[in-house]
Amino acid sequence: MNEEKTGLQAKLTPRLARLEELAYNFWWSWHRASRDLFKQLDLQLWATTRHNPIRILLETPSENIQRLTSDPLFLRDLDAVLMELDKDVKNGRPWYVQQHPDLQQHTIAYFSAEFGLHTSLPIYSGGLGVLSGDHIKEASDLGLPFVAIGFLYEQGYFRQRFDASGWQEAIYPPLNLAEAALRPARCAEGEGECLFTLRIGDRDVLLKVWETHVGRTRLYLMDANVEQNAPWDRQLTARLYGGDQEMRLQQEIILGIGGVKILRALGYNPRVWHINEGHAAFLCLERAREYVAQGLSFAEAQGRIRAGAVFTTHTPVPAGHDTFDFGLMEKYFYPFWPQLGMSREEFLGLGNHNDAFNMTKLALLLSGRANGVSAIHGAVSRKMWVNLWDNVTEETVPIQHVTNGVHLPSWTGEAMHRLYRKHISPDWVKHQDDPLMWARIEDMPEEELWQAHVAMKRKMLSIIRERARDARIQQATPPDQLLASGIFLDPDALVIGFARRFATYKRAYLIFNDIERLKRLIHDRYRPVQFLFAGKAHPADDPGKMLLQYIYNIARNPEFGGRIAFVEDYDMHVSRYLVQGVDVWLNTPRKPNEASGTSGMKAAFNGVLNLSIMDGWWAEAYNGRNGWSIDAGAEYEDTNWQDGADANALYHILEEQVVPLYYQRDRDDVPRGWVAMMKEAIRTIGPQFSTRRMVKEYTENYYVPALKETLALEKS
């Protein structure tokens, strides 16, 4: 037993002892009743710890614990939650068990460089991580025999601040391990913590493995920050995508090769291996080494590896795919290729693409099943990789698509959840991908839907004000920065949200294309438009940081009157409130660079209307009645020209459609036309763009076929 554990156990009364188990399983985060338990422990701490149950348990006064131990209502709620937890995590017959009772004992392993489960574990940097987090939550809900592996970054997602010139500063507060839902993993054999030696090039690096529970699934996180390692090796897993190419190569060796070895040491024997983005593709090489060690030739091994491997690519931009110089590859892999029975040339050929070692190529050649993350992205990927194969045309490139989704129970606002329970079904979460059930939204009273939306909007604005107030107290924020923070936003006026990573292809600048036209929109006396921005630029992305500076300086410029705001430090916590609280979710990527996008799905399911370029998921979701498409009518080679045309289309649609519809109210002050659109968005987008639909698709079209093929090969 480690110290934190005894500490908490000593504090909790026996009757409340299982609160600890609850706090250490992220299951709590997507179940209302368990969130409410932690709120009841201490509402103030709930807010100040940004919803961290472990900190709440550690910091809540013992009197609270004593009081609740004899509070029959609390105990009743606790028992109900624990019964639900046991049903979901241990007992129960979830979907997968019903569909595939004969396949339950075969593990599906999921490898990803980042996981966004909750703000309290900041080991993600954006969409890819949040998707991985949502994927494993759903795998738990559906009952897949699932295990995931990634990194414990002790300086994970950075905190964002702006200096006096509006330049982004990145702060890396180290993760306090005692306050995160992590425990040292135990190896299948031997005593004590799972410490693991991995050969990286010419040296041995020790890896510590942490375990976290996500419903019925486990996520294992590798950590090189152990005393026995050299100081430079302790940095290997400090940050996401940190350092240079060599650091990155070593991280990917840890993820792919270390990941396989560690799963073995933990006692897993996965039959399906899901490579989530090229970062994890080295897992194929380790699997090859295992087969060759058993006496197979590399060619035979390749057949086995391909049968069980599923690869998801996420990047439509060629430069976004990881590549390594041959020199670097040689430095780290020269002892490796003889173990595969290969020559240097044969080995480097596995990834050789334009004279560098390309991780996507490696993954594509060694995975029997591959997919992009939206229909458009699937087509773009087929075009991008057609040259990898002989005798293949663009149509027959073996890359399909599974459009991304979001984990609805995690992203649905409180007010909306209550409304769905009341008017759709008390069991809506269970039947969330049933379109027929959602047809019931037609009968939902419009006033109620509107009021729920207004309540979430007010909640968001009050959170923004509280953050601004705290910053003012703690750092004496200067007045112009306060103005930029959103405290002037009017809850009765239209709010358009734009929150995402500040990569330049996302074109956050588009709305500023014609400043005078923009000013007319925001300063309209009776029908003002407000904009709320949030997002971080990668610390090494100077163009992204310049764009941030540009927008931040507009936000604090008095000419815009506080109607353009910038919320600092975008993360999953901020994102939750924004996707639930704005009126419109704006997305303006340069086509076809948005592989899928998922924040708009979160918004739609909360009744927030999308206004977006027809790219990624939106090209599949938009039906003419459930939001708006920004369509310039033509595509241009010249990107400046395209920006101008898209900006023009955007202003036009705001002036002619969005603003009039929002402000068209009946006698009860309800915008009936707007609410009709909200209903259409929820009905059409909720069931379709959920991880429920997505993970079922992965299961039936990828995991189960891969599993069956693998089992057949094992018998042959």
Ligand X SMILES: *Cc1c(COP(=O)(O)O)cnc(C)c1O
Nearer to ligand X, 224 or 460 (CB): 460
The 547-576 contact track toward ligand X, x by CB under 6 A, reads: ------------------------xx--x-
Nearer to ligand X, 499 or 645 (CB): 499
Compose the 119-158 pattern: x for residues touching ligand X by CB under 6 A, - for all others. -------xx--x----------------------------
User: Is position 709 an interface residue for ligand X (rule: CB under 6 A)?
Assistant: no
Residue 571 vs 697, nearer CB to ligand X: 571
Q: Is 360 or 612 the residue whose CB approaches ligand X more closely?
A: 612
Q: Residue 163 class from Cβ within 10 Å (0-12 exposed, 13-18 middle, 19+ buried)?
A: exposed
Nearer to ligand X, 116 or 145 (CB): 116
Which residues, including other chains, have CB under 8 Å from residue 510's CB and lie 6 or more apart?
Answer: 588, 643, 646, 647, 650
Residue closer to ligand X, measured from CB, 481 or 587: 587
Give the separation between CA 408 and CA 480, rounded to whole angstroms.
37
Q: 3-state class of 680 per DSSP?
A: helix
* Region near ligand X per CB under 6 A, out of 81-89, 464-472, 596-604, 657-665: 596-604
Q: Which stretch binds ligand X (CB under 6 A): 236-244, 260-268, 591-599, 606-614?
A: 591-599
User: How far is the C-alpha of 628 from the C-alpha of 613, rounded, in Å?
Assistant: 9
| Ramachandran class of 153: left when φ > 0, alpha when ψ lies in -120 to 50, beta otherwise | beta
Smaller CB distance to ligand X: residue 132 or 599?
Answer: 599
The pattern of x and - marking residues 602 through 641 that bind ligand X according to CB under 6 A reads x---------------------------------------
Q: What minimum distance in Å lies between the beta carbon of 119 and ligand X?
A: 9
| In the complex, minimum distance from the CB of residue 617 to ligand X, in angstroms, rounded to a whole number | 9
Tokens of 657: 């459609």
Question: Binding of ligand X at residue 453 (CB under 6 A)?
Answer: no
Count of residues of this chain found to bind ligand X when the rule CB under 6 A is applied: 12
CB of residue 575 vs ligand X: minimum separation in angstroms? 3
* Cα–Cα dist 127/598, whole Å: 7
> Is residue 286 a contact partner of residue 312, using CB atoms and an 8 Å limit?
no
Give the DSSP letter string of 189-216: SSSSB-EEEEEETTEEEEEEEEEEEETT
As measured in angstroms, the least distance from the Cβ of 127 to ligand X is 3
For ligand X, the closer of residues 133 and 145 by Cβ is 133
- Residue in 412, 598, 684, 691 binding ligand X, rule: CB under 6 A: 598
Q: Which residue has the tokens 């306090």?
A: 176
Backbone angles phi, psi at 494, to 5 degrees: -55, 130
Task: Choose between 315 and 575: whose C-beta lies nearer to ligand X.
Answer: 575
Shortest Cβ 593–ligand X spacing (Å)? 11
Per CB under 6 A, contacts with ligand X among 99-118 are: none
To the nearest whole angstrom, how small is the minimum distance from the Cβ of residue 132 to ligand X? 11
Q: Does residue number 412 form part of the binding site for ligand X (CB under 6 A)?
A: no
| Neighbour tally for 231: CB within 10 Å | 6
Rounded CA separation 482/461 (Å): 14
Please state the closest distance from residue 390 (CB atom) to ligand X, in A. Answer: 35
d(CA 118, CA 120): 5
229 touching ligand X, by CB under 6 A: no
CB of 499 to ligand X, least distance (A): 8
Cα 80 to chain centroid distance, Å, stands at 29
Minimum CB distance to ligand X smaller for 497 or for 597: 597
220: Cα separation from own chain's centroid: 17
Contacts 24+ apart (CB under 8 A), 33-41: 33/77, 33/80, 33/81, 33/84, 34/81, 34/84, 34/85, 36/77, 37/74, 37/77, 37/78, 37/81, 40/68, 40/74, 40/77, 41/65, 41/68
- Least distance between ligand X and beta carbon 571 (Å): 5
Least distance to ligand X, CB of residue 587, Å: 7
Q: Which residues contact 258 (CB under 8 A, 6 or more apart)?
A: 196, 198, 207, 222
CB of 405 vs ligand X, minimal distance in Å: 11
Nearer to ligand X, 166 or 600 (CB): 600
Task: Tell me how far apart the alpha carbons of residues 698 and 274 are, in angstroms, rounded to a whole number.
Answer: 10
- Which of 126/372 has CB closer to ligand X? 126
- Check binding of 405 to ligand X (CB under 6 A): no
Interface with ligand X includes 312 (CB under 6 A)? Answer: no
Q: Percentages helix, strand, coil for the chain, rounded to the nearest 5?
A: 50, 15, 35
Instruction: Establish whether the linkage from the previous residue to 145 is cis, with ω within 30° of 0.
Output: no
Task: State the minimum distance, in angstroms, from the CB of residue 19 to ligand X.
Answer: 27
Candidate list 270, 308, 597, 686; residue touching ligand X; CB under 6 A: 597
| Interacting residue with ligand X among 500, 563, 683, 693 (CB under 6 A) | 500
Nearer to ligand X, 127 or 686 (CB): 127
Closer to ligand X by Cβ: residue 498 or 560? 498
For the bound state, the minimum distance from the C-beta of residue 667 to ligand X, rounded and expressed in Å, comes to 37
Report CA-CA distances (Å) from 302 to 391, 679, 713: 20, 50, 12
Q: Using CA atoms, how far apart are residues 286 and 259, in angstroms rounded to an integer?
A: 9
**Nearest distance from residue 602's CB to ligand X, in Å?**
6
**What secondary structure letter does DSSP report for 175?**
P
Nearest distance from residue 411's CB to ligand X, in Å? 8
Distance CA 344, CA 349 (A): 8
Which parts of 309-413 fold into alpha helices (H)? Answer: 326-333, 344-349, 359-366, 375-385, 408-411
- Segment interacting with ligand X (CB under 6 A) among 298-306, 507-515, 593-601, 663-671: 593-601
Amino acid residing at 20 = E
Question: Which residue, 57 or 130, is less far from ligand X as judged by CB?
Answer: 130
List contacts with ligand X (CB under 6 A).
126-127, 130, 500, 571-572, 575, 597-600, 602
